[in-house]
Structure 1
Amino acid sequence: MQQEPDKSGNLILKELHGHFHVIGDVHGCFDELLALLQKLGYEVYDDSKTGKYRVTPQEGSMAVFVGDLVDRGPNSPEVLRLVMDMVEQDVALCVSGNHDDKLYRKLMGRNVQVRHGLELTVAQLENYDKAFIDRVREFLGHLPHHIILDDGRLVVAHAGLEERLHGRHSKSVRDLCLYGPTTGELDAHGLPVRLDWAADYSGVAVVVYGHTPVREPRWKNNTINIDTGCVFGGKLTALTYPDHILTTVDAFDTYAESIRPFLQPTAH
């Protein structure tokens, strides 16, 4: 079962059932990711002979990454190497985040603004050979924008997705998965004003997402935001599904300063 989205950019794997460990925005925090995986019962071995990580989960478990593997943090290339190896070994799935997509466009030679942490990732990748860069480009270029699991009861998208769009594809659906809905205006920090799509969610599927840092994992209407801002000195969080157990690792350092204040948690 290699991760490969259909032509629409969706990855519908309803026949796959948990336990899933859905992991929030990593943003290059490699050491914290290793610590979190260890806490979740994964064994990670760096095989110097093959140049690949060998990862053994607990039986019946699989990791699912909500995207934004890269940028701002200290070691985006090793996060990519680990996640690519996990996906290749069928012990993980991953959706694209907006930062992953921007790195892909940069690697494709497109004109993108090298800021918001991308400049760090580009510099870090200079230490890796062309074969690795080519592998990263291929991997990022084939990431789905959302994944549907467990008979449709679990949906993972980087910025979330309202129920009527689950399993759908268009440029607007893809943009919603990567960036979330916005008003089209900019806030005082010069960033897009985001709409809280989860406030009106009434779907059966649990939607797990990240993208907007929160102090604590935020449940709202059968959705949960698990981007707890590890790269900003917060935590790296995993949601175990279907048990709804939260596992966290505190950031080992503050690697970047958040322009926008963290959202405060609200009740389940």
Structure 2
Amino acid sequence: MSSSSTLEQASDEASKLNVQKGDHFQGAATPDFTDMIHLQDLPAEYVPEIGKHRKEGRLVIVGDVHGMRDSLQKLLHKLKFNKHHDHLVLAGDMISKGPDSPGVVDLAMKYGATGVRGNHEDRVLGAYAAMTAEHLEMPSVPDPDEKADKTQDELEELSYSHGDYKDRALVRALGKERMEWLKKCPVILRVGDCGSMGKVVVVHAGLAPGVTLEKQDATMVMNMRTIGKDGVPSDGREGVHWQEVWNKYQDKLPKKQKTTVVYGHDSKRGLQLEKHSMGIDTGCLKGGRLTAVVIEGAHSDYKHSIVSVGCPDGRHS
């Protein structure tokens, strides 16, 4: 079967998902022990205005930071970001892997940013929920120079898988205040109507075409990369890239129903700018770039631009 035929079939299947497979995409199917916020509307005051007498202000949506605090600061400096009239949105995977996850969250809190829950936040929040249930004590404001208790670390490493141990170590590094901030980050952020861009939504990984935001599967929203021939999203790379199906589906909708989704998650594909989707994970952690979509109002419509900065390799910092 040709790639165009596969895309057509996947798009046709996706258009039936809200009827045939609605239960599969219920967010409630995701474990609820982390008090997950599934869907949240961006406050209207943060959405740029259009018109002759519009107030000054931009919406700055940044891709995967992964603990690269200095790169985020560099990008905001390049943008001449002003927290008094601009608003920052971080599209998930703000933390983990890079050199300064606490510093990234501190910057987000300092600037009054809105975060979206990515797969890495989800993992660490799961560890935080488990540690809280086990009544493990954590410092409210951890001292970065304070060495962890070696005996306790050894016991935890024996008790949990290596991945979970690393997640718990990051929880301790972040501390309660930062973890509580991360806990308030929704899986789906609905920005609202942005003129010719349609309705704008920010997620970490992707959205399933033909499924309402309320019924999207939270796990897939944070992890998906492809959609199979049966129309079901997957975190694997076999199948059609989900955004291809998404854009084809959006093209069939009436103008007032079209949605543009801004997402990260897939650094291997890099910058992906299509009519109804913008992929902005450009591999900052790996020495690539940190990228933002900047949305601002004009006289009669909204306009957007892409701004990025180069990053050092942060994997071994």
Q: TM-score, normalised by structure 1?
A: 0.71
Cα distance in structure 1, aligned partners of 2:274 and 2:160: 34
The match for 1:109 is 130
1:91-102 equivalences in 2 (<5 Å): 92-102=113-123
Corresponding residue to 2:201 among 129, 134, 155: 155
Amino acid at match of 1:237: T
1-side partners of 2:68 and 2:83: how far apart?
Answer: 20
Counterpart-to-counterpart distance in 2, 1:134 and 1:74: 19
Distance 1:83 1:113 in 2: 30
- What SS does the corresponding residue of 1:164 show, helix, strand or coil? coil
Matching residue of 1:3: none
Task: After TM superposition, give the deviation of residue 143 of structure 1 in Å.
Answer: 1.6
Contact (CA 8 Å) 2:226, 2:242: kept in 1 or not? Answer: no
Structure with the higher helix share, 1 or 2: 2
Percent identity (aligned): 29
Structure 2: stretches of 5+ with no match in the other structure: 1-34, 49-57, 132-158, 229-234, 251-257, 296-301
Higher strand share: 1
Number of residue pairs matched by the alignment: 219
Question: What residue ranges of structure 1 are gaps of 5+ in the alignment?
Answer: 1-5, 43-55, 185-190, 257-268
Which sits farther off after the overlay, 27-36 or 240-249? 240-249
TM-superposition CA deviations, 1:78-135 (whole Å, max 9, x none): 1112213333xxxx2111000011011112226975439x83x755665x5xxx6111
Which protein is bigger by CA-based radius of gyration?
2
Q: Given the alignment, which residue of 66, 71, 92 partners 1:32?
A: 71
Q: 1:162-177, aligned counterparts within 5 Å?
A: 162-169=208-215, 173-177=217-221
Residues 176-209 of structure 1 deviation map (CA, whole Å, 9 limit, x = unaligned): 211115579xxxxxx8336511111133221100
TM-score (norm. length: structure 2): 0.61
- Give 1:220 deviation, angstroms: 2.9
- Aligned counterpart, 1:224: 278
Distance 1:207 1:81, change over 3 A: same
| Paired amino acid for 1:247 | V
Name the residue aligned to 2:40.
11
Cα deviations by residue, 1:51-97 (Å, 9 ceiling, x for unpaired): xxxxx4363x211110001111111111112213333xxxx211100
The amino acid across from 1:200 in the alignment is V
Between the aligned partners of 1:169 and 1:158, the Cα distance in structure 2 is 16
Larger relative contact order (CA 8 Å, sep ≥ 6): 2
Match of 1:86 among 111, 123, 137: 111
Aligned partner of residue 154 in structure 1, secondary structure: strand
